[in-house]
Amino acid sequence: MPQATAPRVLVMRAPGTNCDRETAFAFELAGATARPHTLLEVRQNPALLRDYQILVMPGGFSYGDDAGAGTIWAAELRHFLADELRAFRDRGNLILGICNGFQALVRTGLLVPQDEDGPVVSLTRNTSGRYIDRWVQLAVSPGNNKFLQEIDRLHVPMAHGEGRFVTREAWQLEGLEQSGQLALRYATHGGEIAAQDDLQNNPNGSSGSVAGLSDASGQVLGMMPHPERHVLPTQNPHWTRLGLAQKPDGLRIFENAVKSFA
């Protein structure tokens, strides 16, 4: 249950967002106090952000993905809230983008700033050209990211049609790896990072098998898989054979965020 000193979480929804309640529940389960606000509410009153310590952009299909996944959401964030989002992070707060929220977050430049030639990273259509909904193994490189401390592997579901991570140039992927920003990568059942062409374990064909990114500060995390869908032991599809986990994998991400404000 949330405590009196628990961090406050702003769950931002855009038209088409459909994972806001599950994400708020996950943070509440981890001990935070979560409140939903629409993008329009935050646009009209950016001072709302000063009442919260964690901002989360959950999954769904913002604006129907009509102009590309997360594109319109990101455009509104860049145009109306860019300075406020940077200030929110610079005050020591945390930002999490999940699936559609990650797609929007990537396009704001908060995770990886654009250079003089434009965006350095993007998320585009899966190699298969199809929407994919399945559970995946993730290898975790926590680095300094607040959400991922003391986590080395995760088993969580993914569900998207545009989740293939790409960089504009191959050397940029290497640079992100060297800077410790490739926080989450699709992996085999043995925990090894999957090969890019291993579509069984890297289902969307992401470059470097990247499933999630940290910003340089470690305060921002974006990820395509859905940790909020594995916060209860019975959400694991194998629980009847393997037994109930003491700590569901997805819940650990939310607990880490709450713990960082203790």
For residues 149 and 155, give the distance between their C-alpha atoms in angstroms, rounded to a whole number: 16
Q: 162: Cβ–Cβ under 8 A, 6 or more apart, which residues?
A: 65, 68, 69, 103, 123, 124, 125, 126
CB-CB contact of 206 with 165 (8 Å): yes
- Closest of 189, 160, 165 to residue 177, by C-alpha: 165
- Closest of 114, 97, 124, 125 to residue 213, by C-alpha: 97
For residues 13 and 31, give the distance between their C-alpha atoms in angstroms, rounded to a whole number: 21
Note if 160 is an active site residue.
no
List the beta bridge partners of residue 119: none
List the beta bridge partners of residue 220: 95
CB-CB contact of 7 with 53 (8 Å): yes
In the numeric block, which tokens belong to residue 71? 């594109």
Catalytic pick among 37, 160, 226, 230 = 226
Catalytic pick among 37, 99, 162, 230 = 99
Q: 206: Cβ–Cβ under 8 A, 6 or more apart, which residues?
A: 163, 164, 165, 166, 186, 196
Taking each helix axis from N to C terminus, what angle separates 20-29 and 249-259, rounded to the nearest 10 degrees?
Answer: 70
Catalytic pick among 22, 28, 84, 228 = 228
Note if 255 is an active site residue.
no
Note if 226 is an active site residue.
yes
In the numeric block, which tokens belong to residue 51? 């009442």
Q: Which positions are catalytic?
A: 99, 226, 228
